[in-house]
Structure 1
Amino acid sequence: MNRLNSITLFVLLFSALIYGVIEWRSTTIEEDTSIVDEQRPNFIAEKLQSKIYNDLGELSHTIEAERMEHYADLAVSYFERPNYILYPKKNAKPWTVSAKEATLYKDNRVELKTQVYIQSTEVGSLIKEIHCKTIALDLKTNIISSEQAVVVIGKDFTMYGSGLIIDLNTKQMTLTQHERTIYKKYDES
């Protein structure tokens, strides 16, 4: 092989190598970009305020949040500092539920996490407020549940336990594991 053929072969192989590296890098960049695009929300709402009505036109619940991100492909919405007001059936007094963060799934199930606070708005309610780390809330049935430790503060008592189920429509509460209850003393003078 003469010298000219060797140089031509070298340039051809070198060009093919450069072309291969450029193609490989561009496909890697495209894959990284598509992963980033999948993680971007379809829309973001700041200072969200929303009212949701049931099929009969009655107010079901309201939601206020500092921020909401909706991901259509995942069928999920994330909330920062959500505050729900839940309206039970039969015109019962509403309950408020707040937390640092929440996730709403397409089946109307909400998982609230970190500093969850549940409060009754009924003046003479036996249960005033409930504190826990996480809860699951079914917006269709108004049933709240948690496997975590809970503190229930009521009229003249504080109850500690874990595993909680509350049906806001019937006002029934079940505590799976009761640890202790502290009663407030009455002053009968």
Structure 2
Amino acid sequence: MNKTNTLALLFFLASIIAYSIIEWHRTSVGEDTFIEDDITPDFIAESLNSETFNPQGELSYIIDAARMEHYASLAVTHFEFPKYTLYPNNSDSPWKITANEGTLYNNNRVKLENRVTLVATDNTSLIQEINGKYLELDLKTNIISSNNKIEIKGKDFLMTGSGLIVDLNTKQVTLTNHEKTIYQHHQK
């Protein structure tokens, strides 16, 4: 091969390599942009406060959150530090549930995670507080559930276990896997 053919072949190979690198880079940048656009929230609210009413016009629940991000394409809303105040049917005393994170799905189910606490506002309630890492809340039925470890504090007792179901409308609590209960009698 003469010198001119060798230089032409090297130039041709360098052109193919440069073109391949440019196309590869453009394709990867395009994919990253597409993924980034796909997970961008449709709207964001800071210091959110929202009240929801049932069909009879009665207050159903209030949500306060430090931040809310709504993703319409995913049909989910993410909350930072959500605080729900729940008003069960036929009850004058609401329940308050807080967490570090919450995700609301279109079927009105909320998954609450990280330092979840359910507190009774009625001082005469047998159960005063329920703590765990994860709870699910159905906003339509006011039923709270979890398969994770749970701690239940009440008047003169502390109970631990897992497999929790709480119906706030009937005030019925079910713990399917009981670990232990500690009774404490307070002297007056």
TM-score, structure 1 as length reference: 0.88
Query: What is the aligned-residue identity percentage?
Result: 52
How far did 1:12 drift?
Answer: 7.0
Q: Say how many residue pairs are matched.
A: 188
- Which residue in 1 is equivalent to 2:56? 56
Q: Which residue of 1 aligns with 2:34?
A: 34
**Runs of 4 or more consecutive aligned structure 1 residues displaced over 6 Å after TM superposition:** 2-13
Displacement, 1:3? 8.8
**Superimposed CA distance per residue, residues 2-44 of structure 1 (whole angstroms, 9 cap, x where no aligned partner):** 9989978876776566455434432321111101111211111
d(CA) in 2 for partners of 1:14 and 1:71? 45
CA contact (8 A) 2:159 2:181 kept: yes
CA contact (8 A) 2:91 2:169 kept: no
Deviations 1:146-178 (A, max 9, x none): 111111111121112211100000000001112
Residue 84 in structure 1 maps to residue 93 in structure 2: no
How well do the aligned residues superpose, as a CA RMSD in angstroms? 2.2
Question: Paired residue for 1:143?
Answer: 143
Q: Distance in 1 between matches of 2:159 and 2:17?
A: 72
TM-score normalised to structure 2 length? 0.88
Q: Which ranges in structure 2 are unaligned for 5 or more consecutive residues? A: none
Within 5 A, what are the aligned runs for 1:117-132? 117-132=117-132
SS in 2 for 1:37: helix
Corresponding residue for 2:103?
103
Shift of 1:92: 3.6
- 8 Å contact kept, 1:165–1:173: yes
Deviations 1:76-96 (A, max 9, x none): 111111100001011341100
Aligned to 2:69: 69
